[in-house]
Amino acid sequence: AQRVTQPEKLLSVFKGAPVELKCNYSYSGSPELFWYVQYSRQRLQLLLRHISRESIKGFTADLNKGETSFHLKKPFAQEEDSAMYYCALRKGAQKLVFGQGTRLTINP
Amino acid sequence: DTEVTQTPKHLVMGMTNKKSLKCEQHMGHRAMYWYKQKAKKPPELMFVYSYEKLSINESVPSRFSPECPNSSLLNLHLHALQPEDSALYLCASSQGIRDRFRSYEQYFGPGTRLTVT
């Protein structure tokens, strides 16, 4: 079954420290993975997708097919990074399957 | 206009009421989605419309009835809901659905917070 696992419900780091939000997936085909972010009182929005191989707001994520992972990383956390982060897998042409989410808190 | 809008923001309804949620986008997107998000849970897909035709129904109970009157509008008609249907209902749209050549980003609305009493 196609599944996305985010093992940490909560993650708290200090400003300036590195951040890594974990995401593991199970998918029988060629996966397409995304990170979505929801800041306080804002709508859910796409942060980045693996096929773009881009860095957004200092965040990067590399698809590791061997480890079936798509961890989100940032070398130096900023207070404005505090938010809810969802890893998502595209299933078929139209369906997104979301992980349970990780609430990231950046402490000053 | 580069946003998905949803009305109302909040809705309280009784179990015998009939109400509708509305979603609108003017980005020329041809795919639209309804998601349900319970508290502290991720969004779960309910329905997908592609080119105004229902293409996915994730085994949603018939008390939820989607409608896509045109390419910019998506409604969710609610009837005889249960208290456990209380949730945040999210609408999303994308330029198209994924094909061999392109993957399309889904843009989410702010949601309608529904309370069933």
Single-letter amino acid code for the residue at B97: I
Mean pLDDT of A35-55: 89
Mean pLDDT of B5-30: 95
Read out DSSP for B59-98? S--TTEEEEEEETTEEEEEEES--GGG-EEEEEEEESS--
Measured between beta carbons, the chain A residues lying within 8 angstroms of B41 are 100-101
Q: How many CA atoms lie within 13 A of B69 on its CB side?
A: 8
Q: Residue B92 and residue B105: Cα distance in Å, rounded?
A: 10
Closest among A93, A99, A101 to A29, alpha carbons compared: A93
Q: Are A97 and A88 in contact (CB under 8 A)?
A: yes
Contact call for B43 and A99, based on CB within 8 A: no
Contact call for B56 and A98, based on CB within 8 A: no
Tokens of A22: 């974990």
Q: Residue B108 and residue B88: Cα distance in Å, rounded?
A: 12
Average pLDDT, chain B: 93
For B29-70, the pLDDT digits (tens) are 999 999 999 998 999 999 999 999 999 999 999 999 999 999
DSSP A69: B
Residues within 8 A of B (CB atoms), A 4-43 only: 32, 42-43
3-state secondary structure of A80: helix
Mean pLDDT of A59-81: 94
B39 to chain A, any CB pair closer than 8 A? The answer is no
Which of the two residues, B3 and B97, has the higher pLDDT score? B3
The predicted pLDDT at position B41 comes to 92
Tokens of A50: 């693996």
